[in-house]
Amino acid sequence: MQKNIICVACPMGCGITVELSDSGEILSVTGNTCPRGAEYAKSEATAPVRTVTSTVRALGGMRPVVAVKTVPDVPKGKIFAVMDAVRALEVKAPVHIGDILCENIADTGSNLVAAADLDAE
């Protein structure tokens, strides 16, 4: 089996081809111009992950929401479960960049952290 991937590890945007065995084992990676591209393509072909960014409702803050992101990235197939958990979450101000707002969100092993400061009213 063959997967064609456009690399996003750097601005080059290489077209990378990953050749997989029937069992999903990587046989070859071609088309990358740097080692980061090869690693990205291997990960994307076997276990794709994404950073989820969103906002969470904030109570008593200068704004009604605070920006958040997942750390580390979550499996691509769990994005909808993560977003369901994000929609159900409310936090109280103040919030500081890096604060963990939800540990192990949606059983992904990733934390939801604040990506911005939010002062209390």
| Beta-bridge partner residues of 59 | 92
pTM: 0.84
Element (H, E) at 65: strand 65-71
The predicted-structure confidence for 21-67, as pLDDT tens digits, reads as follows: 999 999 999 999 999 999 999 999 999 999 999 999 999 999 999 99
Encoded tokens for 115: 């990506």
